[in-house]
């Protein structure tokens, strides 16, 4: 089981001259915990995730314990973390089970055996899409495609799981099922989970820690109730909002109106 925390030190990422992630420091993202990364469109969430995943040039450091992740080769990086992008590549003409099996085999040699096949079917059953196993990726609906991609991301139980808006195409059943299962997986295997979400109530419900990005910087970071406040909603999202607790004690964010964004 992984015991190393993830730390970002002065992480900056630029596209040309435009620095969209600006000296982000995040300490002690602990194994066994789920961090929700939230923030407005264009805040830099996807860019930050791609930076952690080693998919874009960074300045600063991404550390897992004492190990500098950028020093690892692409193969070892791919073994230690999985990253699910916000926009999935178009589905190709392979079946769901073939796709998940190829994720199981990533970085391994030889033919998959019964253990690997069981692992792949388990991932599908967990997400409630066992019935889709022999369907072609290219013939799935948007939400089904997202669930198949999730199965590919979680099947190997990597040390670090980076999911960019994994529930954006899902109905309420699958939203709750996926986040509940991801949380259980993270706790059971001591994984570090980082998930970008736009649904703030969902983030509050499933995440241990909520990190809010705004214009390339961290605008708030802490427990859901510390990070999600009416003041933060106004400052970061330019909305007037109420942060209330439902009859079961969960945080609910109700947005009343859009405020003029500061020029």
Write out the residues near Mg ion by the rule CB under 5 A.
46, 86
Asked if 178 and 65 count as a contact pair (C-beta separation under 8 A), the reply is no
Output 46 or 201, the one with its CB closest to ligand ATP.
46
Min dist. Cβ of residue 44 to Mg ion (A): 8
15 interacts with, out of Mg ion, ligand ATP, none, CB within 5 to 8 A per kind: ligand ATP
100 interacts with, out of ligand ATP, Mg ion, none, CB within 5 to 8 A per kind: none
Asked if 152 and 74 count as a contact pair (C-beta separation under 8 A), the reply is no
Min dist. Cβ of residue 166 to ligand ATP (A): 13
Output 42 or 74, the one with its CB closest to ligand ATP.
42
Output 31 or 44, the one with its CB closest to Mg ion.
44
Nearest 5°: the CA angle 3, 9, 11 is 120
Min dist. Cβ of residue 150 to ligand ATP (A): 18
Direct distance between the N- and C-terminal alpha carbons of the chain, in angstroms, rounded to an integer: 48
Dig out the tokens for 88 from the structure.
């999935």
Residue 163 has φ and ψ, to the nearest 5°, of -120, 120
Q: Is 146 in the site for ligand ATP (CB under 6 A)?
A: no
249: left (phi over 0), alpha (psi -120 to 50) or beta: left
The structure tokens 């805040």 sit at: 43
Output 85 or 112, the one with its CB closest to ligand ATP.
85
Q: For residues 211 and 194, what is the distance between their CA atoms, to the nearest angstrom?
A: 10
Please list every residue from 176 through 215 that binds ligand ATP, using CB under 6 A. none
Output 15 or 118, the one with its CB closest to ligand ATP.
15
Please list every residue from 29 through 88 that binds ligand ATP, using CB under 6 A. 39, 41-47, 86
Q: For residues 114 and 185, what is the distance between their CA atoms, to the nearest angstrom?
A: 22
47 interacts with, out of ligand ATP, Mg ion, none, CB within 5 to 8 A per kind: ligand ATP
Residue 150: helix, strand or coil by DSSP?
helix
Asked if 151 and 100 count as a contact pair (C-beta separation under 8 A), the reply is yes
Interface with ligand ATP by CB under 6 A: which residues? 15, 20, 39, 41-47, 86
């Amino acid at each position: 089981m992984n015991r190393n925390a993830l730390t970002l030190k002065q992480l900056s990422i630029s596209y040309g001259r435009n620095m969209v992630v600006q000296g982000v420091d995040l300490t002690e993202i602990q194994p066994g915990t789920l961090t929700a990364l939230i923030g407005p469109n264009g805040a830099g969430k996807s860019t930050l995730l791609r930076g952690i995943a080693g998919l874009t040039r960074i300045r600063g450091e991404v550390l897992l314990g004492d190990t500098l992740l950028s020093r690892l080769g692409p193969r070892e990086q791919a073994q230690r973390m999985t990253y699910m992008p916000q926009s999935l590549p178009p589905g190709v003409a392979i079946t769901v089970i073939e796709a998940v099996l190829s994720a199981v085999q990533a970085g391994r040699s030889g033919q998959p055996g019964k253990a690997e096949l069981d692992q792949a079917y388990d991932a599908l059953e967990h997400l409630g899409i066992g019935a889709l196993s022999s369907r072609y990726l290219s013939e799935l609906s948007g939400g089904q495609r997202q669930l198949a991609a999730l199965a590919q991301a979680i099947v190997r139980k990597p040390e670090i799981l980076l999911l960019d808006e994994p529930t954006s195409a899902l109905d309420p059943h699958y939203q709750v099922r996926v986040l509940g299962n991801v949380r259980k997986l993270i706790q059971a295997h001591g994984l570090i989970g980082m998930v970008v979400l736009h649904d703030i109530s969902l983030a509050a419900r499933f995440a241990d820690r909520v990190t809010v990005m705004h214009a390339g910087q961290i605008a708030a970071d802490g427990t859901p109730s510390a990070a999600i406040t009416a003041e933060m909603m106004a400052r970061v999202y330019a909305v007037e909002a109420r942060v209330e607790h439902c009859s079961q004690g969960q945080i609910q964010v109700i947005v009343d109106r859009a405020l003029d964004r500061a020029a």
